[in-house]
Amino acid sequence: MVETNGMTTMRRLGRTDIPISAVGLGCWQFSQGGGTLGRFWPVLPQETVDRIVSVSLAGGVTWFDTAEAYGKGRSESALASALTAAGKRDGEVVIATKWTPVLRTAGSIRSTIAARLENLAPFGIDLHQIHHPFSLSPIAAQMHAMADLVEAGKIRSVGVSNFSAPAMRVAHRVLASRGIPLVANQVRYSLAYRRVETDGVLETARELGITIIAFSPLAQGILTGKFHKDPALLRSQPGPRRWLNRIRHGSLAKSRPLAVVVEDIARAHGATPAQIALHWLVRAHGDLVVAIPGATTPEQAWENAGAMKLRLDEAGMARLDEASRPFLG
């Protein structure tokens, strides 16, 4: 593992030999307008997607997280195309995707894997995740279906997303009965949302050797400070995000003191607020937590990757911890 600035920039995915960078790239924004989730983002030209991926790779990002639900597979295809354009081959990057469980049984984990592999070709699936704990089948049946895919050589490892601590334990136990580890739980986690530290998820992950993958690590942009400076930006977000962001008007007042601290520390270190927020997240718990910020521009992608190169002292880390304590519950 590579260590810089008081943290390892490369980690192992759970208890596997799969190396991943502390900061990956979330690819929801590559949905190309497809399906319900695709309407949350502007449609990005493939040329822009290519540039975002290329810049991320240049910044040290080694892995990418997508999902079946992101544009009904369009994000997977756009990602594969961008990686190919960047000259990457299967095995040179790590690919994570997710199965959509809503109104489905575990049987569709097996029946949809061909589509996942087709969309991502020529790249394989290093991590396959259950997107939500909302399947019509019990967790045990889902884990056995995932284990079947591992044994068939269709995927390399198994993860979950949005699972509670008790659900993590069930998934872990079932997979262990097949000799397969549960390697990741992807959850909402940021300086502005630290509930995983108090609901048992982080503790369970540490105990069982499960990587925490933090989605929404910048709290949908709240931690960049841009909405505090210009609340009108909340109304300019695309599609359903415009409605969701209206809810955040009430949270701006609560998060403003935290945003001020983040910006002050960023200024002192010649960094951006986004880089400070990401750096704290992937460093505060050793190698346990990695983050997958998204990016709709190459500039954002480069900025996010730069979080791995910061030198933030312990005083700065402690100040961020203290300022974000109102968000523990």
Q: What gap in Å lies between CA 115 and CA 48, rounded to an integer?
A: 24
Token pair 């993958």 in the structure block, residue: 213
Cis amide prior to 122 (ω within 30 degrees) = yes
Catalytic residue among 30, 63, 70, 280: 70
Is 193 labeled as catalytic in the residue annotation?
no
Q: What gap in Å lies between CA 25 and CA 100, rounded to an integer?
A: 20
End-to-end CA distance of the chain: 33
The residues, ordered by sequence, that sit 6+ positions from 284 with a Cβ below 8 Å of its Cβ are 317, 321
Q: What gap in Å lies between CA 320 and CA 282, rounded to an integer?
A: 13
- Categorise residue 127: left if φ over 0, alpha if ψ from -120 to 50, beta otherwise: beta
Catalytic machinery residues: 70
